[in-house]
Amino acid sequence: MSNWLGLLICLLYIFAIIGLAEGLRRWRGYSSSFTRKVIHIGVGMMAWGLHYLFDSPWYFITACVAFMLINFLDWRYGFFAAMSSSDQANLGTVYFPLMAGIVAYVFWQQPPLMVAALMPLTWGDGMAPVIGKAYGQRQYTVYSSVRTLEGSLGFLVAGFIFTWLALWVVNGFPDISPGAALAPAFVVTLVTMFIEAISIWGVDNITITAVAILIFRAWPF
């Protein structure tokens, strides 16, 4: 596939996810805190298709830079209601494409690690507030942020499942068996769960992925 066609598909896909989230917000009356996570997970899952879209990470990195700018302008001026946050200090939507681009650069030659490194952020961080809001009973406070043990457990379960799947389902080097993928997936998700619990102002989108990169770089696959 042409890299330019891949870039076009990438951009169309992201805008389609934003449009879907906006449609859900208007149709079902979901809050922006929920639709932000629809976008968060939907965009993060694009990692699974990157090697089918591009033969170089630089085209995807170009898309990431473009969406850093778009997301910053949206944070500043509020173009997309489905992406808005009640916390005006939260630049998480800007940090997300930044870290996605870094992961692509670091692990482009190791597709299973590239996808897996984004799964704690995609599914763990994506599901934690959703589970916490729906089922959270046991609250704890970090600085001014209120979180729940149930939300943190949701992070652990969802993040582990998709990190584990990425390590052994995604084709490429290193070739990891389902059994061999269990330990690194659990360690990465457990550590990043604690990182998410103590991160504020949206910097968890940086810290979660940075820690995942460091662990996967050090892991003896």
Q: How many CB atoms lie within 10 A of CB 38?
A: 21
Gap between the Cα atoms of 176 and 170, Å rounded: 9
Dump pLDDT digits (tens) for 42-95: 999 999 999 999 999 999 999 999 999 988 888 877 777 666 665 566 677 889
Q: Which residue has the higher pLDDT, 133 or 182?
A: 182
Torsional class of 139: left (φ above 0), alpha (ψ -120 to 50), beta (otherwise): beta
Question: What is the count of structural domains for the chain?
Answer: 1
Q: What is the pLDDT of residue 108?
A: 97
Q: What is the pLDDT of residue 137?
A: 84
Q: Please tell me the pTM assigned to this model.
A: 0.92
Q: Which domain holds residue 107?
A: 3-218
